Chain A
Amino acid sequence: MSKKMHIQINVNGKDQEFLAEPRELLIYTLRERLNITGPHIGCETSHCGACTVTIDGKSVKACTMFVAQASGKSITTIEGLGDPDNLHPLQSAFKEHHGLQCGYCTPGMITRASKLLEENPNPTEEEIRFGMAGNICRCTGYQNIVKSIQAAAAEMNAAQEAAE
């Protein structure tokens, strides 16, 4: 065991402080230490995207970051996007358009899609497929995931226009 470090992170708006070994992977910090179990472990080898979270404005695979690297940063997980009474437009769209079957990939998909829409509020189908290429789904065949993201984009843009 190596020396524990004082870690300070903000997850979904809440400050968290604890001692941890620097080698702890962020996905375990979230799931096992903080009980934030939205981000999943699909592969643990940086390939599937099920563990995707947003860190300081980047979509990051939480299985490929040490907790020590994340110290001082702000992290958003699927739990920070919406809740059952107040779903994020992407969450509603995935529900509405059958964008999930088993749901295992979904927290990573939606977290990644939220960043994609922030960078490109009006993506084409091709841009969605390219921008979501780091997230693997074993069930849906992606068709309805693309539809869900398109529907959420339209919804979010309409809400934006209404607000202006």
Chain B
Amino acid sequence: MIPAAFEYHRPKDMAGVLAVLEEHGDDARVMAGGHSLIPMMKLRMADVPHLIDLQDVGGLSDIDVQSDTIRIGALVTQHDIITNDALTAVAPILREAALQIADPQVRYMGTVGGNVANGDPGNDMPGLMQCLDASFTLVGPNGERTVAAREFYEAAYMTAREDDEVLTAVVIPVPSGGYAYEKQKRKIGDYATAAAAVQLIKQGDTCVHAAIAMTNLSDTPIFSEDAGAALIGTSLDDAALKAAVAAMLNDIDPTEDNRGPIAFKKHVAGVILRRAIERAWSRA
């Protein structure tokens, strides 16, 4: 399991990163924690003649909780999320999801930026960020721009990020109401067979806001607007839950693989979404 040879760059700032990307174009790629990229390089499914290690680039490792937004630097790790009490106080769904990613060793290394930029449908953070209506900050040769998480994913490993852009931060509106991140996996450290991120707001007995996103059930994460709409204005009775699950099933497009045939995945997706909605409602 020896990757192809590469030249290693460890720039000290973003200007240095962008300079290497500009000089080597397609032959250069950034690495954050390396826990998606290195396995791919070892399998020689990724060939990276110029590897740019981001670890020394400053200003990418902070979690900044403001009154209405949260800014998470690209190099913040899953472990950092789990151990940040200020973040958990305002957006507990982030910790709940991070705890279900991989295993302890991987969580010390895997970053938020790498997880959302990777474009692997199995990653848990993209669906979560769509549920939370986060946006991603990208920096490139022409400066900075922002792309909504709900607009970012085009196909497996294809995103709105250009090859010469680096993702520097994820910005999340502070969520309110009840939340749940529910994931079915074959074992610890496995990617989801199906996972659901849900945020709900309850007024009296009525659901007034619902955001639902699903993971690993299509070649991109799926933000199911219709599933959310099926809950709004209801008191989450059985009919509303059934309608939300039906709407979600209409939006996903799973394929058969070693996690099971399509019918099984749809079944699991329904079970997981129902559980997530019920748990979010109980916390709303």
A interface with B by C-beta (< 8 Å): 1-3, 5, 21-23, 25, 44-47, 49, 52, 58-61, 63-66, 68-69, 112, 116, 130-134
Contact = CB atoms under 8 A, between A and B. Distances in A.
Contacts of B34: 64-66, 69
15 contacts: A1-B5, A2-B7, A23-B5, A25-B1, A47-B189, A58-B79, A59-B108, A61-B105, A64-B38, A66-B38, A69-B34, A69-B53, A132-B104, A134-B103, A134-B106
A68 B104 contact: no
A65 B31 CA distance: 11
Given A44-B1, A46-B39, 4 more contacts: A59-B104, A112-B104, A134-B104, A134-B188
Contacts of A47: 189
Contacts of B105: 49, 52, 59-61, 112, 134
Contacts of A68: 8, 10, 53
A130 B79 CA distance: 13
Nearest to B77: A58
A49 B108 CA distance: 13
B2 A23 contact: yes
Contacts of B41: 23
Nearest to B8: A22
User: Nearest 9 CB-CB pairs, A to B?
Assistant: A134-B103, A2-B5, A22-B8, A58-B108, A134-B105, A133-B188, A68-B8, A44-B1, A133-B103
A131 B104 contact: yes
B6 interface: yes
Contact of B35 (A5, A49, A64, A66): A64
A22 B249 CA distance: 46
Interface residues of B, number: 28
B160 interface: no
A24 B109 CA distance: 18
B233 interface: no
B147 interface: no
Contacts of A63: 1
Contacts of A58: 79, 108-109
B10 A65 contact: no
B15 interface: no
B104 A60 contact: no
Contacts of B61: none
B6 A22 contact: yes
Interface in B31-49: 34-35, 38-39, 41-42
A23 B3 contact: yes
B189 A21 contact: no
A69 B6 CA distance: 13
A41 B256 CA distance: 32
Interface in B153-189: 188-189
Contacts of A60: 105, 108-109
B255 interface: no
B51 interface: yes
Nearest to B31: A69
B39 A64 contact: yes
A65 B5 contact: no
B235 interface: no
A63 B105 CA distance: 12
A25 B6 CA distance: 13
A134 B107 CA distance: 10
Contact of B7 (A22, A61, A112): A22
A59 B7 CA distance: 26
Contacts of B109: 58, 60, 64-65
Q: Which of A1, A61, A64 has the most CB of B within 10 A?
A: A64
